[in-house]
Chains A and B, each alone.
Chain A
């Protein structure tokens, strides 16, 4: 099967794809796009919390105002002036009158909100917040600790506690996450691997869909403009299909290798220092597995896409025939995404072994957590078996379909093709 003719077909596919503008653009733009999305996200997140937040914190007693003000003064968001806070003292009885006065300012968003700390707050630890968007968690999260500290220190003062006692009582619990894995010692884990897992799942999903639809389009075109008839007078239909599949797969593999090479550089050199929350725990062997697995997946899916392309003689029909295969790529991607919050979920475990799905889910799962070797091997062997099976079926459908023009065949007819002696 891998003879000179197959290689000639493959070389042509490679030449056509590797030197095409779309390949070069894709290879460059996808990382820019992904990076851009991350940057935008970070930017928007930081933007939404800070900026023009103007608050008034009103306490029921001078004492309280003094205390609250001193707590707030220590906060970063006051120092960097992203929040401007005015402190006032006002009795509870006069609050509604005051609120009426500033109502227009709040509605116009000149004033983000008014926090009122009543005397009862020292018993019930409840404050009131008047704002156009009172449930904005960003603002609440920022100002809660300072108010909490102020209330605690007033409450405990004069009861025989030291200031460090009070600080301990009023501090929040901090969580430091440690990743437990088999080989290495326990190390502090960041979000790095989670981001990678998402990134890898996305790249697999996107690239399989993209390469697949290119493959299918190319088959439909060859069939449609009848080049295939000339090709088949020179090469066998199986040689032709193999050459095409290998050509697209090698192109896509190369592209993927380019996309993930920054990760290899990050984990294998100490040249770049990542912030601790983004540190990656990943071995180069994983990346190798990732590429081999991707290649197997490519051959499986390119076989399916080639077969679908051969069934139809125009792109509209082929588009609709592509759906079942697209589902085989999309559903696993959604599973991989849902797994981000809980890599150990039963759905994730099962679908990382099931053929087709495991092509995307397994690498995504492995990026986040340790997977037993037998599971990896099982999924890999199942995929190899699937690849052989798909290849055999696809080459039969391809052989019959590629020369069939005219009426759009029914799926039941396609099944019959498998029995044709061709």
Chain B
């Protein structure tokens, strides 16, 4: 069942159409990835989902009802660019961010202290934020995102600027939230992470959704159509075969593109039936990155560079 549904959202800033007729559905209990490169319209979409921007057109539905400002209390949001009040004390900060989510009282304080001890920050509860290391400030930032026990956690480029230790900490939080049945919406341009963490996703490019669905469906749909073989014999009979879209024959190796990825067994059978000796038959699983490249075209230098940096 879909818990959150985005319908035909559009938003322009002056001449620029930041988000153009975007629709997608976030299923209950999922880790949902909103994927696209920088400037594709992810943050604007999220801001409309959070009721920070009013959409020019379209609506966001929470279990069938249009979201209002009380939706904000159900969400924990970790924006890409984030900050804390430097002069405030740690516990004070946590209590304040819970309070503006409508949660106050000793139970919140107890929970805040629990989180602090979980992150080995109990002793710093009365330190000023500015006196904490950058890594510890990031931890405090995570806690503010989840302290009020939101049903939805929206993380906008959550891994940008995190050190490796905190990257893992955040991954753990995400998994733990998922296990407790929370919906996690992850916006990122890092295909690698999305592929590992998300079970559903929507790809956004220049303000438009170019791909949406569950990760397994998408993978099946875009599974590798290219088969590479090493062989002895002749492949001439394949040229007119209906399952083959294109063939590049190099004599003892060849690249074959199928019309449908599901025909790879059929191809193997045809080759054997025609007395071709096969020394290698390779069918690689396609990565999200490759799917993105295939759909979005070749202008992905930015993504490749950043991904290389993360690895």
For the complex, count residues of A whose C-beta is within 8 A of B. 21
CB A315 to nearest CB in B, in angstroms, measures 15
Residues of B within 8 A of A171 (CB): none
Among B51-85, those with CB < 8 Å from A are 52-54, 56, 69, 72-73, 75, 77-79, 81-85
Assess the B53–A12 pair: CB atoms within 8 A.
Answer: no
Chain B residues touching A, majority SS: loop
Q: How far is the CA of A422 from the CA of B52 in the complex (A)?
A: 8
Residue of A4, A9, A232 with highest tally of chain B CB at under 10 A: A232
Assess the B72–A422 pair: CB atoms within 8 A.
Answer: no
Assess the A233–B75 pair: CB atoms within 8 A.
Answer: yes
Assess the B56–A421 pair: CB atoms within 8 A.
Answer: yes
Assess the A227–B50 pair: CB atoms within 8 A.
Answer: no
Assess the B102–A226 pair: CB atoms within 8 A.
Answer: no
Among A259-317, those with CB < 8 Å from B are none
Q: Does A67 contact B (CB under 8 A)?
A: no
Q: Does A235 contact B (CB under 8 A)?
A: yes
Q: How far is the CA of A230 from the CA of B83 in the complex (A)?
A: 8
Q: How far is the CA of A9 from the CA of B82 in the complex (A)?
A: 18
Residues of A within 8 A of B69 (CB): 236
Assess the A9–B84 pair: CB atoms within 8 A.
Answer: no
Assess the B79–A233 pair: CB atoms within 8 A.
Answer: yes
CB B156 to nearest CB in A, in angstroms, measures 9
Q: How far is the CA of A237 from the CA of B56 in the complex (A)?
A: 18
Q: Does A349 contact B (CB under 8 A)?
A: no
Q: A227-B84, A227-B85 are in contact. Are A422 and B54 (CB under 8 A)?
A: yes
In the complex, the chain A residue whose C-beta lies closest to that of B100 is A234
Q: Does A8 contact B (CB under 8 A)?
A: yes
Q: Does A371 contact B (CB under 8 A)?
A: no
CB B43 to nearest CB in A, in angstroms, measures 9
Q: Does B262 contact A (CB under 8 A)?
A: no
CB A11 to nearest CB in B, in angstroms, measures 8
Assess the B56–A5 pair: CB atoms within 8 A.
Answer: no
Query: A211-234 vs B: 1/0 string, CB under 8 Å?
Result: 000000000000001110111111
Q: How far is the CA of A233 from the CA of B78 in the complex (A)?
A: 9
Q: Does A16 contact B (CB under 8 A)?
A: yes
Query: A1-22 vs B: 1/0 string, CB under 8 Å?
Result: 0001100110010001000000
Q: Which of A225, A229, A231, A421 makes the CB contact (< 8 A) with B100?
A: A231
Among B84-104, those with CB < 8 Å from A are 84-88, 96-97, 99-102
Q: Does A382 contact B (CB under 8 A)?
A: no
Assess the B144–A233 pair: CB atoms within 8 A.
Answer: no
In the complex, the chain A residue whose C-beta lies closest to that of B96 is A12
Assess the A233–B50 pair: CB atoms within 8 A.
Answer: yes
Assess the A233–B77 pair: CB atoms within 8 A.
Answer: yes
Among B257-310, those with CB < 8 Å from A are none
CB A243 to nearest CB in B, in angstroms, measures 9
Assess the A16–B54 pair: CB atoms within 8 A.
Answer: no
In the complex, the chain A residue whose C-beta lies closest to that of B79 is A229
Q: Does A403 contact B (CB under 8 A)?
A: yes
CB B140 to nearest CB in A, in angstroms, measures 12
Assess the B87–A230 pair: CB atoms within 8 A.
Answer: no
Q: A234-B72, A421-B54 are in contact. Are A5 and B100 (CB under 8 A)?
A: yes
Q: Which of A9, A229, A233, A421 makes the CB contact (< 8 A) with B81?
A: A229
Residues of B within 8 A of A421 (CB): 54, 56
Residues of A within 8 A of B47 (CB): 403
Assess the B72–A4 pair: CB atoms within 8 A.
Answer: no
Assess the B144–A230 pair: CB atoms within 8 A.
Answer: yes
Q: A233-B50, A233-B52, A236-B69 are in contact. Are A4 and B79 (CB under 8 A)?
A: no
Q: How far is the CA of A9 from the CA of B75 in the complex (A)?
A: 18
Residue of B52, B78, B82 with highest tally of chain A CB at under 10 A: B52
In the complex, the chain A residue whose C-beta lies closest to that of B86 is A225
Among A2-46, those with CB < 8 Å from B are 4-5, 8-9, 12, 16
Q: How far is the CA of A92 from the CA of B66 in the complex (A)?
A: 106
Q: A234-B100, A422-B54 are in contact. Are A226 and B72 (CB under 8 A)?
A: no
Assess the A16–B83 pair: CB atoms within 8 A.
Answer: no
Residues of B within 8 A of A229 (CB): 52, 77, 79, 81-82
Assess the B52–A403 pair: CB atoms within 8 A.
Answer: yes
CB B145 to nearest CB in A, in angstroms, measures 8
Residues of A within 8 A of B78 (CB): 230
In the complex, the chain B residue whose C-beta lies closest to that of A233 is B77
Q: How far is the CA of A235 from the CA of B102 in the complex (A)?
A: 10
CB B40 to nearest CB in A, in angstroms, measures 17
Among A229-260, those with CB < 8 Å from B are 229-237
Residues of B within 8 A of A422 (CB): 53-54
Q: How far is the CA of A237 from the CA of B99 in the complex (A)?
A: 16
Assess the A8–B99 pair: CB atoms within 8 A.
Answer: yes
In the complex, the chain B residue whose C-beta lies closest to that of A5 is B100
Residues of A within 8 A of B83 (CB): 225-227, 230
CB B46 to nearest CB in A, in angstroms, measures 9
Assess the B87–A226 pair: CB atoms within 8 A.
Answer: no
Assess the B99–A232 pair: CB atoms within 8 A.
Answer: no
Residues of B within 8 A of A232 (CB): 50, 52
Q: How far is the CA of A340 from the CA of B88 in the complex (A)?
A: 45
CB A202 to nearest CB in B, in angstroms, measures 30
8 contacts between A and B (CB under 8 A): A5-B102, A16-B87, A230-B97, A230-B144, A233-B50, A233-B52, A403-B47, A403-B53
Q: Name A residues whose Cβ lies closer than 8 Å to a Cβ of B.
A: 4-5, 8-9, 12, 16, 225-227, 229-237, 403, 421-422
Given contacts A225-B84, A233-B72, 15 further A-B contacts (CB under 8 A): A4-B102, A5-B102, A8-B96, A12-B96, A226-B79, A226-B83, A227-B85, A229-B52, A230-B83, A230-B97, A232-B50, A233-B75, A234-B72, A234-B97, A235-B100
